[in-house]
Amino acid sequence: MEENKKRKSSLTITAIVSLLITGTILFFIAMVARQDTSNNGYGFTTNRESWPCEHCAERDQLSFWEEPPIIGLTVPPILDLTQEDFLYDFDFLIKTLEENFPSFGIIYRRNGVDMLALAAELRLLLLDEATEWDYLSFYELLRRDFLSNAWPVGHLRMVHYQDFMEIFYHHHTTSNRSRSVYSHLSNRLRGSIWYTESAEYMRLITNEQGFVNTNIVADVIANGNAAYIRLPDMRRYEIGYPTQASLIDSFFAELEEMEHLIIDLRGHTGGWTEHFKEMLVTPFIDHPLEATFHHFYMAGRENTQYILNLQSRDRHGTFTTREPFSDRLLNNLFGYGVLSQEIITDLRQMDMYMPRTHTAHPNPNRRAPFDPKIWLLTDMNNFSAAQHIAAFFHQTGFATLVGNTTGGMAVYMDSFPSHFFTLPNTGFMVRYDPLYIISADGRPWEYGTAPHHFNRDGMNALQTVLALIAEGNY
């Protein structure tokens, strides 16, 4: 009897020791897996349950578009984040971009920066235990030291705290964590040079009531042979629309026999393409004006959700045509020798292809009384929606472009310009363009759109187009 008790006791101790050894082994396996740097130098694991963060559990499986509405709830204070929390968010950012962002190659060729190599260097700073990190210093590491090197490619950047407070704070999909951290950023950075410059810019483009400045520059030039027009801004679609449309229509009504119309796009850095099309394309077309562009993307989780979101809001079924990427597909689309090897290398990282037709629609109630030769003035400061307009005008033949190559920054289209995702611990939001867009001639939008006529020596775009008109060179 006593011997059986000793045997059972011995077995129990053996079992406990065995469990402790097994648990220790599993723990070290998990730690090694978490610190494994074989995948491009990043110690990121997709097994979110292994991350030792007690306050992460309730949101680990929630993403930006899935988190439930929290409008009306009190914003909680900033969590006391650890170095591991910041490191995890950094790895989450890099892993997400590796799987979804299509333009690292373009950043390297355009800016001379290897973003993934830079990320590996910055990660060492986060591993340095001698450095104390808080949410503001981490924000600056991501914004200034890392993502600013991508500008202006792919809209890759941190969501600025002013943009967040104006656009995302009250959105039902925004997390409480993001509301909290951006509220603190706004309070700490308000009054800084960056904030002051941004506020001054908004003051310049808005009137005293806070609406977009409706001052349209319009005149008849070139000895009465050409009309010139420039919209003040492309950044709003609804605000100021009726006023701008009325002013433009009144100007066009006086130009019954005008031969040329010069549209000045220079300096426009983005906004809404549909606003620009409705203002200055619709009055000159009697049927839909269409251009099909080629869209490629990586099938990461964020991009997949982005495409699903597009499909869910698509009333015309235009997102149903998709097919896997292949070299044969490229040859069918562009033929041999059209795409450069560097572009082919970029595209071989993509998983899917999706053609998309961009359209401007006529409006019989806004038909201009004249049918002019249309010119579009462009420069290197044309980004985003302005890049879209330049590519659309160029490919459709709606206008002859004069000036300099546009700045690129490939926005998708209309109401779905970019995608946003949220870092799980800090709540910081990151913006990027999921799509690698190429025009029919094989030129990526990120390379900008080249004009038909570059500026002549010693002339700006307007002077160049006036010389072309005077020479009858069109």
Summarize the confidence of residues 159-171 as an average pLDDT: 68
**pLDDT tens per residue across span 422-447:** 899 888 989 999 999 999 999 999 99
What tokens does 187 get?
């309070």
CA 43 – CA 31 distance, rounded (Å): 10
Q: For residue 326, is pLDDT > 60?
A: yes
More reliable by pLDDT, 172 or 278:
278
What tokens does 108 get?
């390297």
Q: For residue 72, is pLDDT > 60?
A: no
In DSSP terms, 233 is beta-bridged to none
What are the structural domains of the chain?
A: 59-67+80-187 (no CATH), 217-471 (3.90.226.10)
CA 379 – CA 232 distance, rounded (Å): 16
Q: For residue 62, is pLDDT > 60?
A: no
Q: What share of the chain is helix, strand, coil (3-state, %, to 5)?
A: 45, 15, 40
CA 185 – CA 136 distance, rounded (Å): 7
Summarize the confidence of residues 449-453 as an average pLDDT: 96
Closest CA to 91 of 429, 434, 432, 424: 424
In DSSP terms, 456 is beta-bridged to none
Q: For residue 353, is pLDDT > 50?
A: yes
Phi-psi region of 271 (alpha: psi -120 to 50; beta: other; left: phi over 0): left
Summarize the confidence of residues 24-50 as an average pLDDT: 36
User: What pLDDT is attached to residue 223?
Assistant: 87
Q: For residue 361, is pLDDT > 60?
A: yes
User: What pLDDT is attached to residue 419?
Assistant: 86
CB-based contacts of 410, cutoff 8 Å, min separation 6: 103, 154, 387, 433, 435, 436, 437, 444, 445, 446
DSSP codes, 307-334: HHHHHHH-SS-TT---EE--HHHHHHHH
